[in-house]
A and B are shown apart, each in its own frame.
Chain A
């Protein structure tokens, strides 16, 4: 292995390491974003499942563009019950 290749490998390793650290550092914020999106969708369509919600006209008008967010609600609904483990995986090791 020549010197250049070695340096590139080292650089690649360090980049990967930095990326992993960045991910670790931002994973809590990322989790918070998912929660915010979930709340946003729940706020709009909560009354489909029994929560009070905003004027129907607003909810209906947004329905066609809320596809992705609705997926989040449903994923969330199907995985619910293990919120603690989800939190633990975000917080990392004690």
Chain B
């Protein structure tokens, strides 16, 4: 099982640049690496000066890059649900299923669910030793990371309700000498269990520091710093810790760097210096990936 690094942070702090540098460095060390962009506003193709799609493309000896299309993931998920609904189609008039499906991708929660499915696919992927995920700006990523916990709350509630229904039915069935329902035969209960298993697995993976490394990117400005503290608090509530902090366009000896080091005591801290221009193309990436500095504590 490979390691998964999830790069998170405020919009514009340099997540794509940092994740690209780390991906190049990892591949140069001989690790088979996948760099995957979840950000709908993909910009890996600008950094690598190469066209990408949802299918991974080999760009260096051990490095593959792809730009996951969340819309496509949503659509194929909808298609699979629709396919299962053939038998329900005579309910359409009352429930407006078809009409509802057309606008479903705009429904609250669908965007982060698509990202959650893409994340799950990364955890199930066995082709790579190391997967680096470049995420959209903070809000959506936080929702995606919180989805497992939120949905588990619902699933546990629904499971308890279903259990109570089956138990009550059986207590009536026993008195009336009717056939009893088994909890394990109830298709709804079975499906609730399956879902619960998936979300619990994902939550375990996210909380496992050996398997998942949450990498927080920030700049030296006040706004970026205070949002990072908020991100840390929100992740702590989910039982997820920040393993690494990258100060993009930072200085190793600045006062802010010291303040960040004090705030993120349990995280490794790396610095990518300000080179005064954008990092684009393979030569730039290879050169600067070797210049990432570690802050000694």
Chain A interface residues toward B at CB < 8 A = 19, 22-23, 25-26, 29-30, 32-33, 36-37, 39-40, 43-45, 48-49, 54-58, 60-67, 69-70, 73-74, 77
A65 to B192 alpha-carbon distance, docked (Å): 10
Contact partner, A65, options B147, B154, B161, B187, Cβ 8 Å: B187
A22 and B176 contacting across the interface, CB-CB below 8 Å? yes
> In the complex, what's the smallest C-beta–C-beta distance from B169 to chain A, in angstroms?
6
Given contacts A36-B165, A57-B151, A74-B91, contact A19 B195 (CB under 8 A): no
A36 and B151 contacting across the interface, CB-CB below 8 Å? no
> In the complex, what's the smallest C-beta–C-beta distance from A14 to chain B, in angstroms?
14
Does any Cβ of A come within 8 Å of B60's Cβ?
A: no
Hey, which chain A residues are within 8 Å of B177, CB to CB? Answer: 19, 22
**CB nearest neighbor in A for B101:** A60
Hey, which chain B residues are within 8 Å of A57, CB to CB? Answer: 109-110, 113, 116, 147, 151
**CB nearest neighbor in B for A44:** B158
Contact partner, B110, options A56, A63, A64, Cβ 8 Å: A56
> In the complex, what's the smallest C-beta–C-beta distance from A61 to chain B, in angstroms?
6
Contact partner, B191, options A30, A61, A74, Cβ 8 Å: A61
Does any Cβ of A come within 8 Å of B188's Cβ?
A: yes
> In the complex, what's the smallest C-beta–C-beta distance from B157 to chain A, in angstroms?
8
B187 and A63 contacting across the interface, CB-CB below 8 Å? no
Chain B interface residues toward A at CB < 8 A = 81, 84-85, 87-88, 91, 94-97, 100, 104, 107-110, 113, 116, 147, 150-151, 154-155, 158, 161-162, 164-165, 168-169, 171-172, 175-177, 187-188, 190-192, 195
Contact partner, B172, options A26, A45, A54, A56, Cβ 8 Å: A26
Hey, which chain B residues are within 8 Å of A19, CB to CB? Answer: 176-177
> In the complex, what's the smallest C-beta–C-beta distance from B196 to chain A, in angstroms?
10
A83 to B288 alpha-carbon distance, docked (Å): 73
A55 and B109 contacting across the interface, CB-CB below 8 Å? yes
Hey, which chain A residues are within 8 Å of B87, CB to CB? Answer: 64, 67
A26 and B176 contacting across the interface, CB-CB below 8 Å? yes
B94 and A74 contacting across the interface, CB-CB below 8 Å? yes
> In the complex, what's the smallest C-beta–C-beta distance from B98 to chain A, in angstroms?
12
Hey, which chain A residues are within 8 Å of B96, CB to CB? Answer: 48
**CB nearest neighbor in A for B195:** A61
A87 to B123 alpha-carbon distance, docked (Å): 52
Hey, which chain A residues are within 8 Å of B110, CB to CB? Answer: 56-57
> In the complex, what's the smallest C-beta–C-beta distance from B213 to chain A, in angstroms?
26
B176 and A40 contacting across the interface, CB-CB below 8 Å? no
Contact partner, A56, options B88, B107, B176, Cβ 8 Å: B107
A55 and B169 contacting across the interface, CB-CB below 8 Å? no
A58 and B155 contacting across the interface, CB-CB below 8 Å? yes
**CB nearest neighbor in B for A48:** B95
A49 to B99 alpha-carbon distance, docked (Å): 12
Given contacts A36-B168, A54-B154, A57-B151, contact A65 B109 (CB under 8 A): no
**CB nearest neighbor in B for A54:** B154
Hey, which chain B residues are within 8 Å of A54, CB to CB? Answer: 154, 158
Contact partner, B151, options A25, A58, A67, Cβ 8 Å: A58
